Structure 1
């Protein structure tokens, strides 16, 4: 059977499944709003994004973007410093674009979720109390006034595709909304702290490294239980738990 005739399962869990058939991705989502927002965000995005082929209830078909992912969490990135800088420049362009017309999450909502997650991480003995407490303090840097911008919302290195030193596509826009620009920068560099300077060289001087570090801790604390419950391993080398340990 030719590779283009094989169905590959890209992601599969109880909320979302993504399948690939040749150069077409099918995204099945239990929440129709996420699909609607992804289509709208792709149409608004001022940076390379997938082409929407068609949309039906709870299903979205998009075309593959060219290039290869900037890297993977837990693995050294093969991309050049210039490619990372290009990713930073793409984020800068996105953050300068007009806001999406739907609301994003408030910091109060994020803070409430963080409190619940920290308590559960400790009470369930998933993480040591001192590790959670230290990262909870680091995460405080994220809770400050900011001007909302057009954020991708799930920015990570597997969602940014490059060819050489050029960004050829950014995928998975279902979480796009008005939000904190430092959260996008933190997501992109999570587990790849050594690349932060390259990203900021492309992004510009408006970034705040302390807030980005706060978001590394915040994002990791919020994600550990979800990842473990959906078939992912946050304890894999270089992943979320290692990110939390790096703050100690």
Structure 2
């Protein structure tokens, strides 16, 4: 059929799916609250975001943003140092905006979840126990007192788009909340430690890099089982297991 765009499955699992049809993204989520949070965050965020085209129960249609993602996990970032600095400046602008009205999960919930994930990784012998234990100890740094900001919450490298060294869009806001600013910086540089200095050149260097490294450990530990159970491989090049092994080797 002429003029019919191919339907591309961007991501799909039991909780949600994202489809692309031409320049339109359709997000289907079993939890309506995730889409409600995304729409609210898109309205509040002071940075470039996708346009909301329409919404129905459990479905949200968004326009594609121009530009190219900063990179992909496991591959060298094609973005310039200037593009990374622009991303840092955009994240700083977000973090300095008024807080959204909904909070993040409590620290106690996160701690319990992390302990369960570590126990599961050790029990299934997916990594040496000493690697898991060392990273669990590093992750403790993230539980320090911190001032909440307007945080994206899932600021993966594939969620920030740039063009001509300017940020053209930040996508996937369903986990936005009052959060830890260093979690966002860690998410964006997970598996791309070589880009951290460029990011901080735009964000500002008044951050504790050791806490960013601790967030790399925390995010990798708590995400690995979910990735495995949903068909992704955290042991791929540059993936979560590489991040955990690298942290252990630095000790």
TM-score interval, normalised by the smaller of the two chains: over 0.9
Separation in 1, partners of 2:184, 2:3 = 34
1:10 corresponds to 2:10: yes
Separation in 1, partners of 2:74, 2:139 = 21
| Cross-structure match for 1:95 | 95
Q: In the comparison of the two structures, how many residue pairs are matched?
A: 248
TM-score, normalization: structure 1?
0.98
Q: Secondary structure at the match of 2:34?
A: helix
Q: Secondary structure at the match of 1:5?
A: coil
Note the C-alpha offset of 1:238: 0.6
| Cross-structure match for 2:106 | 106
Where in structure 1 do 4 or more consecutive aligned residues deviate above 4 Å? Answer: 1-4
- Report Cα offsets for 1:25-53 as digits up to 9, x if no partner: 00000100000000000000000000001
Task: Between 233-242 and 200-209, report the one with greater CA deviation.
Answer: 200-209
Separation in 1, partners of 2:206, 2:22 = 40
Instruction: Trace 1:21-32 onto structure 2 (pairs within 5 A).
Output: 21-32=21-32
1:161 corresponds to 2:161: yes
Q: Report the CA distance shift for 1:4/1:90 in structure 2 as closer, same or farther (over 3 A).
A: farther
- Report Cα offsets for 1:164-204 as digits up to 9, x if no partner: 21000000000000010000000000000011000011001
Instruction: Trace 1:11-90 onto structure 2 (pairs within 5 A).
Output: 11-90=11-90
Note the C-alpha offset of 1:3: 8.2
Q: Secondary structure at the match of 1:169?
A: strand
* Residue ranges of structure 1 left out of the alignment (5+ in a row): none
Separation in 1, partners of 2:91, 2:62 = 21
Separation in 2, partners of 1:201, 1:236 = 29
| Cross-structure match for 1:177 | 177
Please say if residues 3 and 22 of structure 1, whose CA atoms lie closer than 8 Å, have aligned partners that are also in contact: no
Q: Secondary structure at the match of 1:9?
A: strand
Separation in 2, partners of 1:215, 1:30 = 28
Separation in 2, partners of 1:61, 1:246 = 39
1:138 corresponds to 2:138: yes
Separation in 2, partners of 1:185, 1:208 = 11
Note the C-alpha offset of 1:64: 0.2
Task: Between 109-118 and 35-44, report the one with greater CA deviation.
Answer: 109-118
